Chains A and B, each alone.
Chain A
Amino acid sequence: MRRFKQIFGFALSTISLIIALSFLILIITYIIIKGYSVLSWEFISQPPKMSMTKGGILPAIVGTALLSIGAILFSLPFGVLSSIYLNEYARGERIKRIIRVGVNSLAGVPSVVFGLFGLAIFVKYFNFGVSVLSGSLTLGILILPIIIRATEEALKMVPNSFREASLAMGATRWQTTIKVVLPSALPNILTGVILSIGRAAGETAPILFTAAAFYLIGLPNSIFDKVMALPYHIYALMTEGTFPKEQTTIAYGTAFVLLVLVLGMNIIAIMIRIRSRRKQQW
C-alpha cells in the first residue's frame, strides 16, 4: 500500500511537470503558427503602412528598447544603492525587516496601478506628457524591487571574509563596498538586471497611459515623444483598427518578436550566471 502511494504520488508530480512544460511549448508553437506568415526582414526593419495592415513594426521594437533602457538607467543606480544601504550599511535587523517588507509590497503592486501612478505623477504633475521619459520612469519603479532584491542576493553571496580583509587593512566601509564587494557581486547583479529588462520590455499596463502610441510612422526624436511598444502594439492590433483579420496575424508576428526578445534576454542572463559560477572560486 505504501509502495502504491509512492508510485501514484510521483506519477502525479511527473505528469504535472509535463503539463506545465507543454504549456510553454504550446504557447511558442501557437504563436509561431499564427504569426510566421508575416515574419520577414521587412517586418522588423520597416514602419507600419496602410493602417497597420502592411509594413513592419520597427517603431514598436525601437520604442520597447528605449523604454527598457530608460527604465534600467533610472532603476539601476537607485536599486543598487538601496541594496547597498540594506546589506552593507544599515544596522539593526528590525529596521531592515521593515524596509524589506516595504520593498516586497512594492513588488506586489499590480502593474496597472503603476500605470495610473505614472500618469498622475510623471505625465501630469511633472508635465513630461505621454512620452518615453514618463514610460521609462514608470517601468523603472516597477522593476525597482526586482533590482533591489537581485542586488541584495548578490551582495549576500559575497563572503564576509572579503569585507573583513579589506576593513582590517584600514579601508572604510564605503571603500570596501566599492572596491571589493560590488565587483565581486557584479555578475549576479547583472543577471538580475537583464531579467528585469525582460520584465520591463513585456509590460503593457504601465505604459498604457504614460508612453504608448497607437500608430506612429516615424521613430521618436526626443525623450518627450510618444513611442510605439511591442506589448501595447499587440493590444492595439487586437482591439482597435478596421482590418481585424490582417491585424490578428500581425499581432501574432509581433508577439513572436517580443517573445524572442524576452527569452533572448533570459538566455543571456542564464549564460552570464553559468559563466560567473564557473569562474567563482570562493
Chain B
Amino acid sequence: MVVYEKSKIVIDHLNLWFDDAHILKDVNMEITSNTVTAIMGPSGCGKSTLLRCLNRMNDLIDGCRIDGKVLIDNENIYTENYDIYNLRKRVGMVFQKPNPFPMSTYDNVAYGLKIHGIKNKKIIKERVEKALIDANLWDEVKDKLRKSAFELSGGQQQRLCIARALAIEPEVILLDEPASALDPISTAKLEELIDELQSNYTVVIVTHNLQQAARVSKFTAFMMLGEMVEFGLTDDIFTAPKDKRTENYLRGRFG
C-alpha cells in the first residue's frame, strides 16, 4: 500500500443544532486527501448535514447553530470573518437531484468562472472545455454546447453539475447522494467518474446505497441518529464491522 496518506479535512468535536434539535453529536472524522470517503447511514442520520458543514452551506439555514471545528489544510473554517466564498470555491458540491441552471451547457460551466471574476473569454473557453473533458461529458455535448442544459439526460445533467464544480478548480468535491435520481447505466458512468476524480481531488460522497459506498470509497463512515458510529477503511467496515449497529445496518436490519 502506498504511504501518501495525509488529512485534508479534520472534523473535530463537531456538534450541530437546528433550533432545539441536536442533529450532529460530537462528530470526529479525518478525511484523507486524494481519496474517496463515503458517509453512509439511514435517512435522517445527519449525513447530508455533516457534508454541508464542510462548505458551510448550513449557514444559510435559520436557527442553525454549530459548535466544534472543521479544519481544512489545518485551518479552521468555523472562525469569524472566514471567507466562505473562497471556501466554497475550494470545496465544490454536487447535489442529490441534478440542478443545472436554466442556461446553455456552456454557460452552466462558465458560471463559476464568471462569478469569481474571470472575464477573459479565451481562458473561460479553455477551462470550460477542460472541465467537461474531466467530467467525461465533452464527447457527448461538444456539438450542443449552446443548447439548454435541460435537453441533456439526467445522468448527463449530473455530470454537467460535476463539470460545473470542477471548472473553478476546487480541492475538495462533496457529492450528496449524486446517483439517487439516476438509472443504473448513468450511475455506473458516474461511479467511474468518481473513481477518476480522486487522483486530483479529495472526494466525499454521501450515499444510502451500501453497494455504492463499497464500490467507490476507500474510507467509509457509518452514522446513525447524528452519531458517528464507526469510521475506517471501507474493506474493514464491510467485512468486519466493530460496532453492532454497523453490522445490523449492513445486514439490512434498518434504514
Contacts and interface: CB of A to CB of B under 8 A. Distances in A.
A180 interface: yes
Closest 4 CB pairs of A and B: A170-B88, A161-B99, A170-B89, A168-B93
B102 A183 contact: yes
29 contacts: A91-B62, A159-B99, A161-B95, A161-B97, A161-B99, A162-B101, A165-B99, A165-B101, A165-B161, A166-B101, A168-B57, A169-B93, A169-B111, A169-B112, A169-B165, A170-B84, A170-B85, A170-B86, A170-B89, A170-B112, A170-B168, A171-B85, A175-B115, A179-B111, A180-B101, A184-B101, A281-B102, A281-B150, A282-B102
Contact of B85 (A162, A172, A282): A172
Contacts of B102: 162, 183-184, 280-282
B88 A167 contact: yes
A9 B57 CA distance: 53
A208 B57 CA distance: 53
A168 B101 contact: no
Interface residues of B, number: 29
B87 interface: yes
Interface string B128-161: 0000000000000000000010100000000001
B49 to A, nearest CB: 14
B116 interface: yes
Given A169-B168, A170-B88, A179 B115 contact: yes
Interface in B65-114: 84-89, 92-93, 95, 97, 99-102, 111-112, 114
Interface string A162-201: 1011111111100100011001100000000000000000
Nearest to A175: B115
A164 B99 contact: yes
Contacts of B185: none
Contact of A168 (B88, B97, B116): B88
Contacts of B165: 168-169
Interface of B: 55, 57, 60, 62, 84-89, 92-93, 95, 97, 99-102, 111-112, 114-116, 148, 150, 161, 164-165, 168
A6 to B, nearest CB: 43
Nearest to A168: B93
Contacts of A183: 102
Contacts of B168: 169-170
A170 B115 CA distance: 8
A282 B55 CA distance: 26
A91 B59 CA distance: 13
A165 B112 CA distance: 10
A168 B161 CA distance: 11
Contacts of B148: 281
Contacts of B161: 165
B99 A171 contact: no
A170 B99 CA distance: 16
Nearest to A169: B112
A3 to B, nearest CB: 47
B111 A166 contact: yes
